[in-house]
Amino acid sequence: MTRRSGLALLLALSACSEKEPVGGGAAADGFSAAEMAKIAALSPLPELPPEPTNRYADDARAAALGQKLFFDPRYSGPILPGGAKDASNGGLGAAGERGKLSCQSCHIDPWLQDNRSNPPNVSLAADWIIRNTPTLVNSAFYKRFGWIAGPDSMWNQALFPAEEEHHLGGSRCGIAHLLWSKYRAEYDAIFDPLDPALDPAHLNASRFPAECKPKAAMAADGPWEKMAAADQRIVNRIFVNFGKAEEAYIRKLVSRNAAFDRFVAGEKDAIGASAKRGLKLFIGKAACDACHSTPFFSDNKAHNTGVPQTGPHVPMVENGAYDGNGFALGSPFNSSSEWSDDRNTGRLDGVVQAEEDKGKIRTKSLREVKETAPYMHAGQLATLPDVLAFYNRGGDAAHVGTKDPLMKPLNLTPAELADLAAFLETLSGDPVPAALLANTSNP
């Protein structure tokens, strides 16, 4: 029996059931059969799809190691002057200090996103970064990662901030040495054993410098370029496994059992009257589900909504998915690379760097939206009412590219906007278990 046919049967039997699925409960609140079908398509959040490019994606040992590394700051590079001088870095360190930043420095619990009141519209790590730190909760349901829909796997996404100088500023050699000195037993139990020459006391320790990563464009050769190609491959494999362990951890950060899900399952009073009116708007007059579709509340596509590039640390132009596609195609760690455990997923089939993608930002999931202010790709909007006002006016003029034709004035009244906000607040589920938010890094 299909889900839809099962739903029809449950609707027919609703009069005999004290606790009906969305058919009976919603019908009593004035939803049509067509509306009920739309609602049923938005819940529940399914099980995570398999991740064929990462054979360790659901390995509990890899997840445990990933959690340790998520909280461990010791591989991070220097704090830059712009980051050190701002009080909102939480006193993490002074300019030039190393080993002060971890993934958790920006992905802050309980919802693993940057919830600091300052910076006002971007995040601060080793320095200011140009996009807002999004929540990691339920993020494994995306198909392309980051605001600009770049990396085509979560493990690839985890690699970029580890080395990028404004994020954590570390290096793949630094990560390899950290794994040798602090996590060798855990790593060797999951992956191929670490090379003994990573031991600083080893006769051939000079093969692996303390810090190394590929040089920036036009820069002089550094330690990475001077390494033997075979040793570069050894370090790259360790770096990739670092990302795959991080992905295994992030795949555990799933939140279910939102009030909306309970309502769809038949708990009629799980959401209030205002939220029910907002739900009707969401799938009707406001047409939010045109992009915020599926039980993940994202179509996993990118759209140009005309969000302005405003803020003291935001660049004038955001090329969005244009740059994201360039990253995906050019990454040496993409799903078609030798580092992928399945090079035949077809994820990059048809992907090109097209002018029409300039300014497009990946559709963010609305699950946990109440908890994850500020909003938009650079935190330009502080509150949910701000977001709804933006969409109600049809967005703003596109600063680059062409605004999506779906972006039209909605003409919602203040009361309707309040109802829509009430519905969005029902999309927050259970918090991530406290054990997954604990700093388990090895001393």
Tell me the pLDDT tens digit for each residue of 298-356: 999 999 999 999 988 899 999 999 999 999 999 999 999 999 999 999 999 999 999 99
Residue 283 one-letter amino acid? I
pLDDT at residue 429 is higher than 60: yes
pLDDT at residue 178 is higher than 50: yes
Tell me the whole-structure pTM to 2 decimals: 0.92
Can you tell me the distance from the alpha carbon of 360 to that of 400, in angstroms, rounded to the nearest whole number?
9
Sequence-distant (≥ 6) Cβ neighbours of residue 9 within 8 angstroms: 1
Question: What band does 124 get if pLDDT is binned at 50, 70 and 90?
Answer: confident
**C-alpha torsion sign, points 194, 196, 197, 198:** positive
Question: What band does 404 get if pLDDT is binned at 50, 70 and 90?
Answer: very high
- Distance between first and last Cα of the chain: 53
Task: Give the tens place of pLDDT for each residue, 353-397.
Answer: 999 999 999 999 999 999 999 999 999 999 999 999 999 999 999
Mean pLDDT of 22-45: 81
pLDDT at residue 197 is higher than 90: yes
Strand partners, 361: 303
What per-residue confidence (pLDDT) applies to 164? 96
What per-residue confidence (pLDDT) applies to 6? 40
Question: What band does 15 get if pLDDT is binned at 50, 70 and 90?
Answer: very low
Residue 104 one-letter amino acid? Q
**Secondary structure letter of residue 335 according to DSSP:** T
What per-residue confidence (pLDDT) applies to 14? 39
* Helix, strand, coil share (%) of the chain residues, nearest 5: 40, 5, 60
Question: What band does 94 get if pLDDT is binned at 50, 70 and 90?
Answer: confident
Nearest to 198 by CA among 249, 244, 245, 239: 239
Phi first, then psi: give them for residue 417, nearest 5 degrees: -65, -40
pLDDT at residue 151 is higher than 90: yes
Q: Which residue has the higher pLDDT, 348 or 120?
A: 348
**Secondary structure letter of residue 129 according to DSSP:** E
What per-residue confidence (pLDDT) applies to 93? 80
What per-residue confidence (pLDDT) applies to 118? 56
pLDDT at residue 5 is higher than 50: no
Query: What is the chain's length?
Result: 443
Instruction: Return the percentage of the chain with pLDDT > 70, whole number.
Output: 91
Q: Which residue has the higher pLDDT, 9 or 39?
A: 39
Q: Which residue has the higher pLDDT, 21 or 51?
A: 51
Instruction: Return the percentage of the chain with pLDDT > 90, whole number.
Output: 85
Task: Give the tens place of pLDDT for each residue, 245-292.
Answer: 999 999 999 999 999 999 999 999 999 999 999 999 999 999 999 999
- Mean pLDDT, the chain, integer: 92
Which of 16-20, 45-49, 162-166, 380-384 comes out lowest in average pLDDT? 16-20
Q: What angle do CA 392, 421, 25 make, to 5 degrees?
A: 120
Q: What angle do CA 63, 147, 82 make, to 5 degrees?
A: 90
DSSP string, 151-167: -SSHHHHHHHHHH-TTT
pLDDT at residue 295 is higher than 90: yes
**What stretches of 8-166 adopt beta strand conformation (E)?**
123-124, 128-129
Between β-strands 128-129 and 302-303, what pairing exists: parallel, antiparallel or unpaired?
Answer: unpaired
What per-residue confidence (pLDDT) applies to 20? 54
Inter-residue contact 74 to 99 (CB < 8 Å): yes
Phi first, then psi: give them for residue 352, nearest 5 degrees: -135, 165
What per-residue confidence (pLDDT) applies to 422? 98
Can you tell me the distance from the alpha carbon of 19 to that of 15, in angstroms, rounded to the nearest whole number?
10
pLDDT at residue 7 is higher than 70: no
Inter-residue contact 367 to 123 (CB < 8 Å): no
Inter-residue contact 54 to 247 (CB < 8 Å): yes
What per-residue confidence (pLDDT) applies to 116? 76
What per-residue confidence (pLDDT) applies to 78? 95
Inter-residue contact 137 to 296 (CB < 8 Å): no
Query: The tokens of 308 are what?
Result: 């302005």
What phi-psi label fits residue 96: left (phi over 0), alpha (psi between -120 and 50 degrees) or beta? left
pLDDT at residue 28 is higher than 70: no
Q: Tell me the domains of the chain and their CATH numbers.
A: 3-46+255-312+358-427 (1.10.760.10), 60-254 (1.10.760.10)
What per-residue confidence (pLDDT) applies to 29? 72
